[in-house]
Structure 1
Amino acid sequence: MIIALLALLLVQAVTGLFANDQVFETGPLFGYVPIETSDRLTTLHKQTFDWITAAIGVHVAAALFYLWVKRENLILPMITGRKRIAGSSAPIDSAQTLPRAASREPRWWLAVLIAGVVAGALAWLVTTAPEAGLYTF
């Protein structure tokens, strides 16, 4: 479910870059695509919002189902990353259940570097994008 939510958010973000409202506003990369493509991406952008809303509803309903019916609280472990196992008094950290190679210290510097490169590339794309121009919608 998390992968589906992240995929939907990615589709929403990417289509929004090329979208237009056929009146005044356009996405920052609107000038890179023909108007027909932008219109299709705008339609997909609007539909994706409905899919995101539905997926969030299903996700919340599943968490509440587990809380109320199965009597298993998944909400707190999603927030803290720790879950108490039945018959154990100490919470289990998710890193303890991972293979040795995957449980190393997080590489925050790598995450910051990747985020910086992506942000820089996006800023370059936006600043060098062709002008949207005047279109008759």
Structure 2
Amino acid sequence: MNNNFLAYAESAIDYGVMGVLLLMSIVTFWLFIERMMFYSSVRTDDYNHRDTLEMELTDNIGVISAIGSNAPYVGLLGTVLGIMFTFYTMGDAGAVDAKKIMVGLALALKATAMGLIVAMPAIVAYTIVLRKVEKILTVFDVAQDKKIK
């Protein structure tokens, strides 16, 4: 293969993986802020049924969970593709240059690191949001119990 094509493909994959991870982190942050703003304004008195309240409280939190679960895999995909390009380039050159291998592997591993950097805050955000949902539902249940008595 042409070296220019390999360089182009390698940087396209690198930017693609990093772009997807950046988008995932922006979506997570945006949904977290949106949910927290909604929770601060929710009035449990406006709801007659617990299920209706729960559906509104849990809206979009599955996306945060999915991002937290899948970001490491997106990073791993970038790493695997980066390693494949590194080995292909070395094999195509016909010479083993330890410096080029190490640099290629180090650059490929940055995708995994970025995947973890995106995943960890997403999982923390999901946990915080889920706990807030539990608290609001408990407040609703207590208010319903008081109405019955």
TM-score, normalised by the number of residues in structure 1: 0.41
**Greater RCO, 1 or 2 (C-alpha within 8 Å, sep 6+):** 2
Give the strand-richer structure, 1 or 2. Answer: 1
Give the helix-richer structure, 1 or 2. Answer: 2
